[in-house]
A and B are shown apart, each in its own frame.
Chain A
Amino acid sequence: MLKVDQIDVYYGNIHALKGVSLDVAEGEIVTLIGSNGAGKSTLLKTLSGLLKPKKGDIQYLGASVAGKPVQDIVKAGISHVPEGRRVFANMSVEENLELGAYLRKDKQGIREDIEKVYELFPRLLERRKQLSGTLSGGEQQMLAMGRAMMARPKLLLLDEPSMGLAPLLVKAIFNIIEEINRSGTTVLLVEQNANMALSIANRAYVIETGKVVLSGTAAELQASDKIKSAYLGGH
């Protein structure tokens, strides 16, 4: 579905990604783990079109999307939930969801999808008229994910959904990611919480200082000593 081929990306003067390649097959949950500043968010931003690769290519559903405008990429079915949620704090929960469907014209379908998001996240239904800036971190994460789902993505990019959340909430969020995946959306998940990420992923890539240093199935990486000591808090 997605094939990233040897991309080089600069973030200002910083050479943030160096020849990164990875692929994601339809229906998978693929996770990208690595420490702070390894280039995980840069990769997602490049996939969603916020950043342009200097070199290399990104193939999505058989066509190149490298350097395409963001709105074209969203239209093609890639939605990006950015790090830190980035909900529109000055707007209500429902307005945020409507903005998620900005490129769609089917009013009826949008209405139905808003109801679906409320089914997935009942907390949002309770707060639909509330300004999203007043939500808790967990609720904002739910809103950011619901908002991304409003574009009916085929591929969902999630950047650190567990950041700053209590363990119980992290679990709830990850259950929902699995549910979203079961209903047919492919997921590329960036996480620092490698334990959680590997527990729901099919495959994983490990990224260090802008390079993919390791990849394999989630089970393989969970068993790898190197990963255990560096990311899973083992010995």
Chain B
Amino acid sequence: MVKKMSDHYYEEEEFTESFNGRTILRIFRHGWNHWPLMLGFIVGIGMVSLMESYMTYLTKRIIDEGIIPGDMTAVWSISLQYMLLFVLFAVFVYLFIMSAGTLGHRVQYDLRKQMFAHMQKLSLSYYDRTTTGWLMSRTMSDPTRVGDLVSWGFLDIMWAVMSIISAVGFMLWINWRLALVTLVVIPLLAVAAMQFEKHILREYRLVRKLNSMITSSYSEMINGVRVIKSLRREERNLGQFGELAGDMYQASYRAAWLSALFLPVVQLISAVGVTAVVWFSGREFQNGAVTIGGLQAFVSYITFMMWPIQELARVYATMQQAIASGERIFSLLDTKPTIVNAPGASDPGSLRGDILFDNITFQYEEGKPVLTDFTLEIKQGETVAIVGPTGAGKSTLVNLLCRFYEPSAGTVRFGGRDYRTMTLHSIHSRIGMVLQTPHLFSGTVLENLRYGRLDATDEEVVAAARLAGAHEFIIDLDEGYETQVGEGGVLLSVGQKQLISLARAVLAKPDVFIMDEATSSVDTLTEALIQQGMETLMDGRTSFVIAHRLSTIKNADRILVIENGGVSEMGTHAELIRQRGHYYNLYTKQFREEKAEAYGLELAPANGNDTNLSLAV
């Protein structure tokens, strides 16, 4: 099979190095889809930063118009203004938290919805190439980062920019000469912030990398603890781990003290600004160009300014992560499904009729053909058993038949019609499938059965369960058809799950039936029920069984032996036994195992005329 993408793939690409403008724009557009919310927080945060600056200005007025001239009425009226402003301020704070918070969650919701919908269209080959873990983090963690950027990230940028602009505006308004002097501080602050963020970010990346190494080190130790103990590796393992933990200590200590240095440096720079104001204010004060309140306001504005700058630096760091997340999300959304309905594809109404694998060439990987010019005709109602060792490629034929994969040359014909002229839905909905490890969804037995045909009535569901031989055990369950099956059906035995998935297939009334027999043993009664259910389903239907049980194999109309991806032998049981080839070997091995199981013996893998045995009490 195709090699899966490593689960670690995504961990290594946590950050993007460069700012991709198109990705940012695309992320922004996702936010703009809910423009009232975006407008809400832009207005909210804009007003909040303006008001913050204006409050400092009001304090100045209390001093200059109230305290200095000794006018208590002025103090009262300005305080009143101040109070009203605070109430208004609170309203806008509510507005921006509410809209940004909602927008963030909304964008996450949208992205997840889109991704999930898109994933429904992707072909099975995509899922064979991509690990569940990868898709999980695409759908679960990446939207969170993007959602945060669209809302809180943009909000913080807005706030920082607006605050700086309005503070500068007020300073210019109070005394433009003094303001120009202090403006020197802003670029200094910005440069310091960027420099720091660059270094801190580098350390944090190292910390994250080391952290994931520490986690896998722990995981390996816990999983292999028995081997470690028997090989007395404790000391040396601790030595190796100690080095890793030491590196982690180095990196995270460095990151921590760099961060600790950041704030003091920024504070110091703003102190320089304050000093400059004090220095130059002497002359201005004597000219009467600046008041005591004005001085106070300047000091406040300058010391305040370091917060927006710090915020910008922080957002810059998270932005890189969020953009990397965005890129991965969009790469998933931009993946084109490899198998789509051809133009003009239609529903044939039925898949009954002879099936023809018509000159098929197929490969999972370029240059490694699995089937070459393969032709096979199956009569309507015939049962084909597919046998072969694990991993030999038995599911290839099934994948092609279901059009989960398409052949690179040739085609499959149902009743003579090329299946590429049919819609995917029309094919899938008419093929019934029972998998080896039957997958159930969490929910009740009834819900799982109804998965076969969503509009089936309760009576029809029960009838199908009876036909499949599942009814008896279901009504013996605590809550019958309403029993919860647990996640993936864990609360049921394998045999029970298989019976339910048989019933599910019966309910779907498929034209073609595909079954992957379970290898794990089930008790004799369940086994008999499963056999009965299978026969019900195979009756009159063209059926493919990836077979593991001798009785199924022997009863098939035709047996295909698959080895190394290709069909190595084909014929009836008797024909193949006489050939004394692969089938013969497989059959005798299987025979011994099945008998051993029946007699309560448990047989180790055997070849030729070895006698292997052990006990299974």
Q: Answer yes or no: are A and B bound together in one complex.
A: no
